[in-house]
Structure 1
Amino acid sequence: MKYIHFAVLLWLGIGGLRAQDSTAIRRDTVIAPAKTDASATDLLAGLTDSTESQPLLPHKMIFTQRVFWGPKGLLRTTNIAPLTSEGRVHELKVRRTMLVAHQIGGFVTLAGFVAQGLLGAKLYNAKGQDYLDTKKWHERSATFINITYGTTLLLSLTAPPPVVGAKKGFTSIKLHKYLAIVHLTGMVATNILAHMIDNNPDLKPIHRAAAYTTFGAYAASILSLTF
């Protein structure tokens, strides 16, 4: 069941990341909101004055966004979030809040990666009771990282869509997306290998390489939007 869970997570994550760039924290949405997040009054005016020239939803949306926020999404058909100009103004505020939480979760997860790396390095050389104690904390930190990583990912994948689609050309958002594919794959591989090590200790070097690759890609993905 654990492998199935990892496979589903990988499928959702990579599928969503390939669909568009706007699921990550956008520099113009979170770090410099003044560039795209107009005041609620201005945004509402823009949406109501010309609904034809300014569509309420972007043409491309990831699968998870379309399921909830698409024209026939769950929140639309149940009338919880009708697709209106006023509703989209509120959704963009919700999106901003979720992406800020996504960014905070990213730094919390990064801190967990650092702690996990230190424990992992100690575990490789530990013996006896020290090994058992370190292994326990290593497993606890792994659980913590999986929870924060998964939550951070879901905040990105389920946030309401932006007003417009992704910008053309290579951007920091696209770099963030490509790195996310790497670290998501690394997360799945690291978890699978961790459960195989007890029966096959020869996998330890591969597990360590996967963990370091995941950490490197994850740190780079955060830096790509921070600076």
Structure 2
Amino acid sequence: MKYILLIVSLLGTVSSLQAQDSTSVGGHTPTDTLPTKNEADALLADLTDSSETQPLLPHKMIFTQRALWGKKGLLRAINVAPLTTEGRAHELKVRRTMLVAHQVAGFVTLAGFVAQGLLGAKLYNAKGQEYVDTKQWHERMAGIINVTYGTTMVLSLGAPPPMIGAKRGFTTIKLHKYLAIVHITGMVATNILAHMIDSNPELKPYHRAAAYTTFGAFAASIVAIKF
């Protein structure tokens, strides 16, 4: 009798464990933990809406970017660069390539500025045929610098906008842009004064000051963005 009661007790325990497994382990999850059909549809709608409202363009862009790459920009209007998710992904690759080329052209221009500074210093003390030869090289170097400087500027101003706008506060990127305003102004002044020196020799000190200011601002802008 004792053994019979023990067997019955063991069978009852096993039956109880099987009942518990059938609700938790056997794959029958309680229905109150599953989302209803309406809740699933609402969740899917939220995910869809969030992806659809993701802005493809930053809120703030420089004027050239807005004119070329804005929602109503030239490249959008002529359907060269449709504003789509795939299109923006391609534009970001183009942007990276153009900015790398912008840096390379910037270093070439900086080297040209150094060479032009040496020629300019020599030109101020040259006389006779040496003055004529140095002046010719000085003018040739000025033409080369204008081309490389213009290329550097176009690569920067014409690049597609980033996905995210500029950060708030002072950054090295903003310093780079502020210095760009200085060296662009200096570049224009240097070229204008260069064409006026022959008839107005007294402008030579101003031409030199404009050239040095341009070189200093340009070099500082490269240092700011690289280091």
TM bin (shorter chain): 0.7 to 0.9
| Percentage of identical aligned residues | 81
Residue 25 of structure 1 aligns with which residue? none
Residue 141 of structure 2 aligns with which residue? 141
Q: CA deviation at 1:50?
A: 3.7
Q: Does 1:123 align with 2:123?
A: yes
Query: Counterpart of 2:138 in structure 1: which amino acid?
Result: H
Distance in 2, Cα, partners of 1:87 & 1:127: 59
Q: CA deviation at 1:80?
A: 1.5
Residue 92 of structure 1 aligns with which residue? 92
Aligned length: 180
SS at match of 2:129: helix
Give structure 1 stretches of 5+ with no counterpart.
1-47
Distance in 1, Cα, partners of 2:169 & 2:143: 37
Query: Counterpart of 1:216 in structure 2: which amino acid?
Result: G
Matches within 5 A, 1:185-224: 185-224=185-224
Distance in 2, Cα, partners of 1:195 & 1:102: 28
Query: Counterpart of 1:65 in structure 2: which amino acid?
Result: Q
Distance in 1, Cα, partners of 2:137 & 2:55: 50
Q: Which protein, 1 or 2, shows the higher relative CO under an 8 Å CA cutoff with sep ≥ 6?
A: 1
Query: Counterpart of 1:174 in structure 2: which amino acid?
Result: K
Query: Counterpart of 2:206 in structure 1: which amino acid?
Result: I
Query: Counterpart of 1:189 in structure 2: which amino acid?
Result: A
Matches within 5 A, 1:14-33: none
- The TM-score, its normalising length taken from structure 2, stands at 0.77
- The TM-score, its normalising length taken from structure 1, stands at 0.77
Residue 75 of structure 1 aligns with which residue? 75
SS at match of 2:161: coil
The 3 A distance-change label for structure 1 pair 49 and 111 is: farther
Q: CA deviation at 1:49?
A: 8.2
SS at match of 1:164: coil
SS at match of 2:207: helix
Residue 14 of structure 2 aligns with which residue? none
Could you report, residue by residue, the CA deviation over 1:79-120 in whole angstroms, capped at 9, with x for unpaired residues?
Answer: 211100011000000000000000001000000000000000
